[in-house]
């Protein structure tokens, strides 16, 4: 019978280890995902006032988009709001961060360039007449899987509603972009 006793002990120990491991993963995974996404977002280069966005900047934007796509959607939405919220009392930095988020969302989601869904909050465009008539993918244009900026960052407000609402509408309207096909 000592063998049976050892087997029972091993089974109990294994069950406890699995339970503790599962509990730890449930606690650590969201924190790690939050850290990864926050780190990726802070590394995105700001949307410049010109159409010059370096290959290194595009690569970093794609890296951040990949991390974003790998993050659980509800957590990603909360992190967008938290990130923008950190800069609510710093208008100059808030504008920079909103520009980064605007580019990120257009990299994350596969939005047709000719999409002009006026009723969609996900298709909001700056109200400046200079940018009127652009599709929902504005300011990113795609040529042979290569992104490019068609406009420098405007001095107008980019998001017409809270970023979480914008993200939620895009999430349900568009599929994720296949980032493995992006070229630089």
Query: Range of 147's domain?
Result: 2-43+52-181
Helix (H) or strand (E) holding 153: none
Residue range 63-112, pLDDT digits in tens: 999 999 999 999 999 999 999 999 989 998 999 999 999 999 999 999 88
CA distance 81 to 133: 28
Report the domain count for the chain.
Answer: 1
pLDDT for the residue numbered 127: 39
CA distances from 170 to 72, 77, 84, 150 (A): 15, 11, 18, 21
Q: What is the mean pLDDT of the chain?
A: 84
Q: CA 114, 123, 73, 81 torsion: positive or negative?
A: positive
Residue range 15-57, pLDDT digits in tens: 888 887 777 766 767 788 888 999 999 999 999 999 999 999 9
CA distance 148 to 145: 10
């Amino acid at each position: 019978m000592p063998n049976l006793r050892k087997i029972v002990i091993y089974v109990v120990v294994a069950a406890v280890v699995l339970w503790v491991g599962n509990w730890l993963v449930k606690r650590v995974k969201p924190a790690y995902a939050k850290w990864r996404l926050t780190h990726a977002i802070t590394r995105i280069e700001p949307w410049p006032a010109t159409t010059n966005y370096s290959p290194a900047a595009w690569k970093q934007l794609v890296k951040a988009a990949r991390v974003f796509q790998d993050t659980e959607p509800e957590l990603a939405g909360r992190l967008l709001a938290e990130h923008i919220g950190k800069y609510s009392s710093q208008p100059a930095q808030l504008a920079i961060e909103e520009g980064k988020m605007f580019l990120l969302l257009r990299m994350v989601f596969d939005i047709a360039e000719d999409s002009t869904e006026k009723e969609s909050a996900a298709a909001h465009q700056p109200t400046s007449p200079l940018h009127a008539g652009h599709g929902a993918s504005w300011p990113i244009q795609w040529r042979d899987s290569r992104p490019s900026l068609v406009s420098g960052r405007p001095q107008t407000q980019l998001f017409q509603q809270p970023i979480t609402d914008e993200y939620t509408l895009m999430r349900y309207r568009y599929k994720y972009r296949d980032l493995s096909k992006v070229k630089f």
